[in-house]
Structure 1
Amino acid sequence: MDKTFHIVDVVEAIFSPEFIERHWLGRKIKAADFGVLDNRAFTRSSLDISTRRGNYQGWICNEFNVWKSFHGEGADRVRRSETLRAFGFSQSVKQAIGAADKSPFPGPVVALHLRSGDIVRGKFRVRLDFGDKVIPSTLAKAIVSKLSSQGLTTLLIGQDRPTLEYLKSETGALLTDDFGADEFADQTLKAFFEMALMARCQQIYAGSSVFATIASVMGDVPCNKPKTLFSKRRAADIILDELKSHQADYHPLEAAFGYQAAFLSLEDKVSPRQAREILEKARELDPENDVYALKIAAAYFRERDFSSGEAVLKSVMISQFRGSADMPLQMMRILTGWTWRGHVMSKDFERFFAAAKAGYPHAAACSAHIFQDALKDAESASKMAALALAAEPENEIFKKIGRQLGPLTTGKSGALSKLRSRLWKAGLRI
């Protein structure tokens, strides 16, 4: 976890001593000793039966909406907000929540959570499938305007103060500092204060944010995605129009993320040329983000302009190899980046393979890494590496990739070839 963007606090700062003593399970627990609550229907009695049968110490739950699977056997469900607020919070956390509860609102208020952090400005900005966790700040003006037309005041919550102050000056939206958030020197207490303020709003607009979800649970208020206000296509057009007129008013990485969000909404709806135009603007603002170069190359490959895509890959690979000869190169690690949803760039793998088969060696080198790291196909990886090296036998990058993969063996290979491969993987060269 990057502590530049995340608050990590000790449990004693959040919960009361009594609550900790009652629920503390130790610094280490065995997951096998606990059952897991999921989307399957359950009752109190069914949990008791499962606990006895599995000899469980308790239950693990990672889903806020698991209550939908609970059947109360005649008893009324307890509201989620009541359950959350009944936690034994520390006195300082209770005071922060209480201060938020007492803050007067000027009428009907809607919260807009503008998360920034590691997804916009940190290491996760290269992971395109995390984009839906954030509402781009470049869409905020349109959201505030839309809500204002409905007679609603917007409360902005976010991590980047200059961005929030700029949006307030442009839209008249409220900030949490208007209610005293700036009086909290402790960031944990400030976070609870802001969540409690959000919980008092009529609605919350946010990406897939735990912060916003907790606020939603705390207040039993709906947490909406921006798609309830604008279609993805419309939101992308709004962002591009905003950046065309006001790009200089945003932090470069905020603006780059706006282009990224627009690209992800339009990638399959616009031509490769239009996609590249968006990506090139993002890359200009965030040149260290290799995902833009990879996507630009893929857009060229999409229309079978292999030479232009190859030139992009070659430029990045040579630059990175000069900086560090460690393998795999940073851009290759991004190319095969994986999350629980799958490989981030999997839709582009076939385009790299096509360029490789058409005789473009840097695309072949990338393809070798895809086969080796993502698809676990050592035979195809070795073939792609051989294509790259055959095209440029003296290329040090290709040599190093080939040495990493080792000699090609197949099911039909002889005993000597297989022995050589095993020795190669053990670090012995014969």
Structure 2
Amino acid sequence: MGGRLLAMANAKALADRLGYRFGFTWKAIGDKEFHVIDGVEKIFSADFIEKYWLGEKIKRSDFAILEKTAFTRSSLDAAATKRNFRGWICNEFRILEAFRDEGAETIRRSETLRGFGFSANVKQALDAADKCRFPGPMAALHLRSGDIVRGKYRSSLDFADKVVPSTLAKSIVSELSSKGLSTLLIGEDRATLEYLRSETGALLTDDFGAREFEDTTLKAFFEMRLMARCQKIYAGSSVFATVASVMGDIPSITTTTLFDSSRAAEIILGELEGHQSDYHPFEAAFGYQAAFLNLEDRISSARAREILEKAHGLDPENDVYALKIAASYFRENDYRSGEAILKSLMTREFLVSAEMPLRAMRVLTVRLWRGHVMSKDFESFFAAARAGFPYAAACSAHILHRASGELKPALRMIAQSLRTEPTNTLFKKIRGSIRPITSPKSGLLPKARSGLWKAGIRI
């Protein structure tokens, strides 16, 4: 929900400045464990919906995409004159940084967001937060957890910077206290928050009435407004925290302003050494993950494995740890040890499900907006494959196929695995899964080639 509100605030602030019309689309979604976005009528007032809502869906081809490249009012007007479209889709969170309008005052999103016509229930939640009395100067600390720490994204390392590790929170609260600021903790796991409060004396949103909101959406708005009333917000790259900072027109600051990455890793590892059992296993595992990511390029492979093995012990179903450990062995040219890890992992998963690609192989080639999560490890897998290790070669074939789109090199690589172990059923399945990749946007020729390939015809 935070991402939608931020995009809407950007788009309406820009539209108001340029004299354009503003409209928005909104569709309810539900992830019962971590994500719920209610229908538009629960968030916004009837008047706001009637005035601005474009419906649950729009025809994307009717709109141009407003991207984060420098633009001006005149450049947009010129583009609109040349092309026949209804307007621009404005989903880029930092789009206002690309707007060039010399001599004009800065576009202020805060007034725009606060001026949204919210529903009566949302307004009630916001008003309740405004009536709360803080005991003194406050800083909000948004820990963020959810699917990044405990769900499906915990193997997607690129999302880690959205989270402030709970294992770092004690030191942050202490540092803020030394600056004369009390801490308001915002997070998703009650047990973790209660533990941190008992250890630090930090305040929780429950102390101001958050428990009265059984509805998760209304509670989110209440907590967002509480954060907005603080002097500062300390957070990762969480959009929820960004929206709160826009709402209150206050800074959202990363915790690196308190501790650099090396010091943060040192604090986390020290906290886990003494208090690991006080944290949920996934919270502790994420602490090790955060420490590893902070130190990855500055520590030995042996030290990296030591940290990763602790994380893997706490979260054994997270394949990214095993893959990273294997890669660390490959970097030391200890191909045999890395190969043993891959063989154990892939064989075990293949016994559970013969569906291709294996779960670990999917993790290996996860791609996010910054690129492939494990791209810095690809060459290590290729080196092990060149050294003649068949499971490393099988993984390399998958990398070449899925990450690089190189069909023939991928086939040559898996052929190498099969030459080493001709009867290996897993390698045969991987070989059968390597075929031309098409998408719904692929043209007729690629789709025709794919059809012929499936029929056993090679062209």
Give the secondary-structure state (helix, strand or coil) at the position aligned to 1:25: strand
| Greater CA drift, 25-34 or 119-128 | 25-34
Residues 66 and 393 (structure 1 numbering): CA distance in 2 closer, same or farther, change over 3 Å?
Answer: closer
Aligned residue identity for 2:56: R
> Are residues 1:160 and 2:189 paired?
yes
From 228, 246, 249, the equivalent of 2:275 is: 246
Aligned match of 1:296: 325
> 2: CA distance between counterparts of 1:217 and 1:312?
47
Deviation at 1:10, TM superposition (A): 0.4
Match of 2:54 among 25, 43, 46: 25
1:347 aligned partner: 376
User: Which ranges of structure 2 fall in alignment gaps of 5 or more residues?
Assistant: 1-29, 437-448
SS of the aligned residue for 1:112 comes to strand
Tell me how far apart the structure 1 counterparts of residues 435 and 255 of structure 2 sit (CA, whole Å): 49
Q: Distance in 1 between matches of 2:457 and 2:101?
A: 65
- Is the CA contact 2:407–2:435 (under 8 Å) kept in the aligned structure 1? no
* Distance across 2 between alignment mates of 1:213 and 1:155: 16
Secondary structure of the 2:284 match is: helix
Match of 1:7 among 36, 42, 51: 36
| 1:232 matched to 2:287 | no
Offset at 1:349?
0.8
Residues 253 and 286 in structure 1, CA contact (< 8 A), matched pair in contact too: yes
Q: Counterpart of 2:167? A: 138
Match of 2:280, as an amino acid?
Answer: H
1:90 and 2:119 are equivalent in the alignment: yes
TM-score scaled by length of structure 1: 0.92
- Relative to structure 2, which stretch is displaced further, 394-403 or 89-98? 394-403
Deviation of the 1:384 alpha carbon: 1.3
Give the secondary structure class of the aligned counterpart of 2:282.
Answer: helix
Aligned mate of 1:150, from 143, 163, 179: 179
What is the TM-score normalised by the length of structure 2? 0.86
Change (3 A) 1:105 1:378: same
Equivalent position of 1:177 in the other structure: 206
Cα deviation 1:253-284 (Å, max 9, x = unaligned): 00000101111111111110000000000000
Q: Secondary structure at the match of 2:55?
A: coil
User: How far is 1:142 from its partner?
Assistant: 0.8
> Could you tell me which residue of structure 1 aligns to residue 137 of structure 2?
108
**Relative to 1, partners in 2 of residues 1:364 and 1:9: Cα closer, same or farther, differing over 3 Å?**
same
Change (3 A) 1:80 1:406: closer
Alignment of 1:187-226 (within 5 A): 187-226=216-255
1:63-74 to 2 correspondences below 5 Å:
63-70=92-99
Distance in 2 separating the partners of 1:65 and 1:378: 37
Alignment of 1:107-126 (within 5 A): 107-126=136-155
SS in 2 for 1:159: coil
Measured in 2, the distance between the counterparts of 1:199 and 1:66 equals: 22
Question: What is the alpha-carbon distance in structure 1 between the residues aligned to residue 98 and residue 451 of structure 2?
Answer: 51
Equivalent residue, structure 2, for 1:263: 292
How much does 1:6 deviate?
1.1
1:42-64 CA-to-partner distances (Å, cap 9, x unmatched) read 55566555445434433322244
What is the CA–CA distance in structure 2 between the aligned matches of 1:26 and 1:422, rounded to whole Å? 37
Structure 1 contact 35–51 (Cα < 8 Å) conserved: no
The unaligned stretches of length 5 or more in structure 1 are 408-419
Q: 1:32 Cα deviation (Å)?
A: 3.3
RMSD between aligned alpha carbons?
2.2
- What corresponds to 1:273 in structure 2? 302
Corresponding position of 1:411: none
Alignment partners' CA distance in 2, 1:381 and 1:54: 42
Change (3 A) 1:66 1:382: closer
Q: Kindly state the Cα deviation for residue 348 of structure 1 after the two structures are TM-superposed.
A: 0.8
CA gap 1:79/1:284 in 2 versus in 1, 3 angstroms: same
Q: 1:84 to 1:428 in 2, by over 3 A?
A: same
Conserved? CA contact 1:112–1:205, under 8 Å: yes
Q: Supply the AA of the counterpart residue of 1:370.
A: I
Judge conservation of contact 1:124–1:130 (CA < 8 Å) in 2: yes
